[in-house]
Amino acid sequence: MGKQGNFRGKKASKKENGNKQESKVSSQTSGSKKRRCCGGGCLCFFVLLSALLGGVGVLYSNQEYCTQLDKVLRQYAGNEMVDEGYHKAKDAWQFVKPYAEIAQEKGTELFHKVKESSEIVLDKGTELFYKAKEEIEKLLNDPKSTKDKTEQEQKLSEEKRKAEEKRLAEEKLKAEEKRKAEEKRVAEEKRKAEEKRIAEEKRVAEEKRIAEGKRIAEEKKKAEEKRLAEEKRIAEEKRIAEEKRIAEEKRKAEEKRKAKEKKKEEERIAEERRKEEEKRLAEEKKKTEEKRKAEEKKLAEEKRKEEERKAEEKRKAEAKKKEEERKAEEKKLAEEKKKQEERKLAEEKQRAEEKRLAEEKKRQEEKKKVDESKESEAKKKEAEKTDAEIRRLEEEFKKHEEERQMEEKKLVEQKKKEEEQRLVEQKRKEEQKLAEQKRKEEDKLAEQKKKKEEEKKIAEEMRKREELNKANDEREGKFVLEEDEDVNFEKATYPKKDITNDEDYNISDLLDLGDDFIQEKNLERANDHFEQLLTKYPNSPRALYGKARSLDKLAEKQRSNKMLEEAIATYQKVMDAKDTPDELFKKAGLKLGEKLEFRGWNSKAAATYQNLVSKFPSDITVRKKLGVSYLLMGQNEKARRVFSDILDIDKGNNFARVHLGFIVKVTDNNPLESIPLLRAIMESNSKEIQEGKFYFQLGDAYQRLNQTEKAYEVYERGVKKGLFLSKYQRSLYNCDGIKAQPWWKPEETGYQQYLKILTDNWKLIRDEGMKQIDPKTGSFLPEQENLLDKGQWMQFTLYARGKKNAKNCAKVPKVCDLLDQITPAKSCVRGQIKYSLMKPGVHVWPHCGPTNCRIRAHLGLVIPEGPKIRVADETRTWKEGQFIIIDDSFEHEVWHTGASDRLILIVDFWHPDIDEKTRRTLDPI
C-alpha cells in the first residue's frame, strides 16, 4: 500500500485505544497551548500546527497535498505526534467543513494561498503560522459567509450529529478490525515461531544427519580398511595354504614316486628271482631229462642185449633141438618152419612196435621240449610285454607328472600374475572407489545444499501460497464451507487420489517431489527425502511406500540383499498402517510378494497374496499371483484350486487355463486332458503366457500321444517366438554364442586327459557300481522325472549341482577318488555324475535337458545287445570301456530291447566354450 494507506492504518490503530488515549491526547494538546512558542521545529509549533490543519481542512481530500504534508510533518515531529495532529485536524474539519465549502466556492486562488502559506510555515516557524491564520480568518469573515451563517450553523449541527454517529460506527468497525488484526498478528507470530522451531529442528536434524553421515563414512572407512586387511590376511593365508598344498602335493607325489620306484625295484628283484628260479628249474629239468634219457637209453641197451642174449640162447636151444630132433622131426619140418616164420613175424612185429613206441616217446619228448620252449618263449614275451607296459606306464606317469608339474608351475605363475593383477586392480578400484566416494560425498553435500534450497523454496512458496489464500479469503469473504468444497474438488481431480489418504493429501506436494526423484532415478536423494518426511509424519502410508520403492530400486542397483530385506520390511509397514488406501495396500502387497519370491521366501509370499485375495476376492491379478506362488512351492493341488476359482470367475481366462493345463500334464501325467488347456498359448498372443515351459509341455503331450507332427508344429512356433534354440534343442536355461551340436568327439571337448583317467579304470568303476545293484542292499533309486514310458530305469547319484554326495561316495570310494580329479565335471553346478541302470524292455520318452551349458559323457560299463540312443535324428549305441558324448539339450530317446541289464556312468562336463568367469556366475540347476 502507499503512504496514504499507512497513514490510515496508523490512524485506525490509535483511534481504537479508547477514550483514555483520546483524553491523554487532548490534555497534551491543551497543555501545549499554554506554553510559549519557542520557534520553528519545537513541540509547541506542531501542536499549534494541528489547529492550522483544521483551518485548512479543505485540502484534506486532496491526495497530492496530503501525501506531501504527511511526509514533511513526520520528518519533523515523528509518527505519533503527527497521528495525534491528524485526529485533531479531522475533528476540526468537522467544525470548519461549512466554511471550507465557502472557501471552495471562492476558487482555487485561496486554495493555493493556503497551500503556499502552509509550506512557508514549515520553513519559517511560528510567525508565518500566524500569517496563515490571519488569511483563514479573512476567509471566514467574508460577507457572503456571514449572510449564510445561521443556515450553516444549523446545517453544521446536523452534520456534526451525523458525523458523531458515523464516528461511533467507524470506531466500532475499527475496534473489530483491530481485534482481527491482533488475532492475525498473534497467528502470524505463532506461525513464525513454529517455522522458526521447524527450521531449528531441521537444522539440528541436518547437523545430526551430517554427523551421522560422517560417522557412517568413518565406520565404512574403518570397515573398508578392516576388510582390506582381512582380505590381505585371507590372501596371505590362501597363499601360505596354497604353498603348503603345493608342498604337500609335491611331497605326496615324491612319496608316490618313491613308492612306485620301490615297487618297481621290488618287482624287478622279484622278476630277477623269478627268472633265476625259472633258469634253475630249467637247468634241473634239463639235467633230469638228460638223466632220464640216459637211463632210458641204458635200459633200452640192456633190454636189447637181453633180447639178443635171449635170442641167441633160443637160437642155440632151437639149433640143438633141431639137431636133436632133426631126424625125429623131419616130418614136422614144414610145420616147424611155419612156426618159425610166425615167430619171426611176431618178433619183427614186436620190434616194430617197440620201435614205434620208442619213436612215439621220442616225438612226445620233442613235442614236450617244443612246448616247453614255446612256453618259455611265451613267458619271456609276456615278461617283455609286462616290462614294456611298466616302462610305458612309467613314461606316461613321468610325462603326466611333468605335465602336472608344468601345469602346477603354470597355475602358480598364473595365480601369481592374477594375484598381482588383482592387487593392482584392487588398488586401482580402491583409488577409484575413494575418488568415487569423495565425488559422491561432494555430490551429496551439493545435493543436500540444493535440496535444502529447494525445500526452503518449497516451504516459502507454500507459506506465500497460504498467505495469498488467506488474503484472498479475507478479501473475497470466503466461508469455510466454500474452502472445503474447493479442497474436495482439487482432491477429486488429484491424479494420485486413489493412493492418498486425507493426511497425505496435506503433504501431497512433498510426496510428489519424492516420487519425481524416483522417476528421475535419483534414488539416494529420494530415500533421504522420504526418511525426512517420515521423521515428521511417521504414519504416512505414501511416505512409507516411497521409501520402500527407493530402497527396492537401490537394492537392485547395488545388488544388496540387506537393503532388499529393509525394503521388504517397509512394504509390510505400508500394509500394516492404519489408514492405508486400498489401492496403495494392493500395490504394496504385490511388490512385497514379488520381492519375497525373489529372496526365495515363497511361503511368506503365498501368505501375502492370500491376504490380498481375502481383501480383494474379485481381483483376478492377485489370484494369479497366488496360484503361481503355490506352483513355485510345489503345492500343485493348492495352485489347481486357485486357477479353477479364476476360471469360475472368468471362464475364458487363458492364464488360468494354461497353468491348469500345466498341472494336469505334469502332476496328473494326463497329456490328453492337458492339451485343450495348454493350447491357449497357441490361441492367444498374451505375453504373460508365452513361456517356453508351456510350449515344451504341449509338444511333449502330443509326442506321448504319438502325434509327432503336431508336436513339432508346436516346437517350431516356439522357435519363431525365440523360446527355443531349434526344434530339437529345447533347453530353457541357456548361454548365448556357444557351439551347438548333438554328438561330440572326445578331441572336440578338450577333456581327453580326464576321459582317459576314467576309461583306463572303467573295470574298477564297473565293479564298484555292480556291488550297488542288489535290490535289498544296493543304492540305485528309480528315475523321478516322469520320463519313463515303460520298463525299469534306476540311478545312483554321486555328484549333483556341483556338490559331492558323501553318503553315496562312501559306498564307491575308489570311483569318487577318480572323480575328484575331474575338475570340469565335479564343479559343474548345472550337471550330475551318476550311474544309470536300465533293465530290459525300457523305453524313455523323447526329452531335452534343461540347459545347453553342459555336455554329457556316457561311459559304457555293462553293454549287452539291444540298448540304443537317438539324439536329434541320429541313433547310436554304447561300447564297454568307451565314451559316447552328447549335448543332452538336444532331444534324445532311449530303448533297451535286449535280454540283460545295461549299466553306464553319466558324467556332465561344463560346455568347453563357457569360460571360468561365466561358470562362477551361473546358478545351479
pLDDT at 806 over 50: yes
Lowest-pLDDT range of 199-203, 284-288, 407-411, 634-638: 407-411
Question: What's residue 167's pLDDT?
Answer: 85
Distance of CA 801 to the CA centre of its chain: 20
pLDDT at 475 over 70: no
More confident residue, 238 or 551: 551
pLDDT mean across residues, the chain: 79
pLDDT digits (tens, 9 = 90+) for 51-78: 455 444 444 445 555 566 666 666 656 6
Lowest-pLDDT range of 90-104, 645-659, 751-765, 768-782: 90-104
pLDDT at 295 over 80: no
- As a whole number of angstroms, the distance between CA 209 and CA 216 comes to 10
pLDDT at 192 over 60: yes
Question: What's residue 1's pLDDT?
Answer: 40
Per-residue pLDDT band at 564 (split at 50, 70, 90): very high
Lowest-pLDDT range of 407-416, 477-486, 600-609: 477-486
**Burial level of 755, CB count in 10 A (0-12/13-18/19+)?**
buried
Mean pLDDT of 149-165: 76
pLDDT digits (tens, 9 = 90+) for 476-505: 444 343 444 444 545 677 888 899 998 888
Percent of the chain scored above 70 by pLDDT? 76
Question: Pick from 867, 767, 871: which is nearest to 814 by CA?
Answer: 767
- As a whole number of angstroms, the distance between CA 5 and CA 835 comes to 103
pLDDT at 160 over 90: no
Half-sphere exposure of 407 (CA within 13 A, CB side): 9
- Return the amino acid letter for 152: Q
Question: What's residue 46's pLDDT?
Answer: 46
Cell numbers at 496, concatenated: 494420485
Percent of the chain scored above 90 by pLDDT? 39
Other Cβ atoms within 10 Å of 748 Cβ, number:
14
Question: What's residue 427's pLDDT?
Answer: 74
Most confident of 15-19, 241-245, 648-652: 648-652
pLDDT at 372 over 90: no
pLDDT at 656 over 70: yes
Mean pLDDT of 815-831: 95
- As a whole number of angstroms, the distance between CA 887 and CA 865 comes to 24
Question: What's residue 358's pLDDT?
Answer: 78
Cell numbers at 634, concatenated: 510345489
Per-residue pLDDT band at 13 (split at 50, 70, 90): very low
pLDDT digits (tens, 9 = 90+) for 727-776: 999 999 999 999 999 999 999 999 999 999 999 999 999 999 999 988 77
Per-residue pLDDT band at 637 (split at 50, 70, 90): very high
Question: What's residue 491's pLDDT?
Answer: 63
Per-residue pLDDT band at 142 (split at 50, 70, 90): low
pLDDT digits (tens, 9 = 90+) for 520-542: 889 999 999 999 999 989 989 99
Per-residue pLDDT band at 135 (split at 50, 70, 90): low
Question: Pick from 859, 847, 857, 854: which is nearest to 890 by CA?
Answer: 847
One-character DSSP codes across 706-721:
T-HHHHHHHHHHHHHT
- As a whole number of angstroms, the distance between CA 536 and CA 531 comes to 9
pLDDT at 30 over 60: no
More confident residue, 282 or 448: 282
